[in-house]
Structure 1
């Protein structure tokens, strides 16, 4: 069977891996994980014992976790796409550097805001501190990215890469949390996100999140359930 990407909804950072698979243009399947349904199916522990998405089940039954590892793995499947680069090259180092920043600093900046979704036992003062901290951290990240995009068309330069796919999955959270007017506060970042939203792969990923069945570029071979994958996970 083709590789299977486990993606989380709603608003999962795994969105970027769906975009990446569409850009790559090789056959794949998807497995939907409803992150708000607790507890998760214990079978998922065989995919990722940390119970996080994304995860990529490879053809040999080995699961690969963490966005940075997944995106670099996908890029290496076909370097002619120029979504990634030969290991050891300066371009590969720059992609690693950008993905590391996005998957750590920028991702973590939103942490206080997601914490606010469970405010049980939390005082009003504590909630306000989290909002302020989250807004400050995200603003710092948006300003950094806005500065980069003032001088280039894509995160790494003149061509898209796996970094742009991942960025779309998390930068949209700034709009989701209604933190800023991106268009006026961070116009270069806003322009970049608008360009990405116009991309067929991004529109495909958005439709997938909504629970629709888009055709995509023809490489998506459909959804598969966790239960259907149990024989592969037991191997």
Structure 2
């Protein structure tokens, strides 16, 4: 069985795992999870009891969850492609540090903004409070990220890694919420984001999310499967 990536739409951080799989260029399949449709498919609890995406079903039937775990797994397979670094090296430490920063600080900074967007029956004061908290957290993270990128061209310097893949799926949320001009306030991030926007793997991931025609054109992706087509679940 080929690996199967469970990705969430809309705007899932699993976007980065699609990009990383495309960079790895090993065969894989996709399974789409519509995150706004409730309840989620009951079978998905066998993949991730937390009902979150992404998750990666491995060929032996074991499932990996959490973006950081999935991306480090893919990086270890793609050392020859520059997706990561050998364990024990200083570069490996820097990759782990960057992924942890993105996975905890940057991801969670958007939490209040998503709450302000999703929650019903908020008072104007509650809405404004969530927006103020979220915007402050995002600005703080983006200031740090902008400084770390510097001249780049990538998050860790000259080598494009799984950290870039993950970040492009999270940083794009600033375009959704639109409370600053990225190019003006964080020019290094804007330049980095444009380099990624020109990357075929990133363009493919966008097509997958929007279910566009170009989503069928990938040398590595073997197409979509449905949850109930997978042989790893108990049958009633």
Distance 2:122 2:216 in 1: 44
Alignment of 1:17 with 2:2, yes or no, is no
Q: Is the 8 A contact 2:151 2:188 kept in 1?
A: no
Q: Is the 8 A contact 1:119 1:127 kept in 2?
A: no
Q: Deviations over 1:21-44 (max 9, x none)?
A: 000010000000000001101110
Q: Deviations over 1:58-85 (max 9, x none)?
A: 0000000000000000111131111111
The list of structure 1 runs, each at least 4 consecutive aligned residues, that deviate by more than 4 angstroms after superposition, is none
Alignment of 1:177 with 2:180, yes or no, is no
> What secondary structure is seen at the aligned counterpart in 1 of 2:222?
strand
Match of 1:223 in 2: 224
Alignment of 1:2 with 2:5, yes or no, is no
> What secondary structure is seen at the aligned counterpart in 1 of 2:193?
helix
> What secondary structure is seen at the aligned counterpart in 2 of 1:163?
helix
TM-score when normalising by structure 1:
0.96
Aligned residues: 234
Match of 2:142 in 1: 142
Q: Give the gaps of 5 or more residues in structure 2.
A: none
Q: Give the gaps of 5 or more residues in structure 1.
A: none
- Offset of residue 106 of structure 1: 0.4
- Offset of residue 216 of structure 1: 4.1
Alignment of 1:42 with 2:11, yes or no, is no
RMSD: 1.2
Match of 2:130 in 1: 130
Distance 1:117 1:152 in 2: 33
Match of 1:57 in 2: 57
Distance 1:163 1:179 in 2: 24
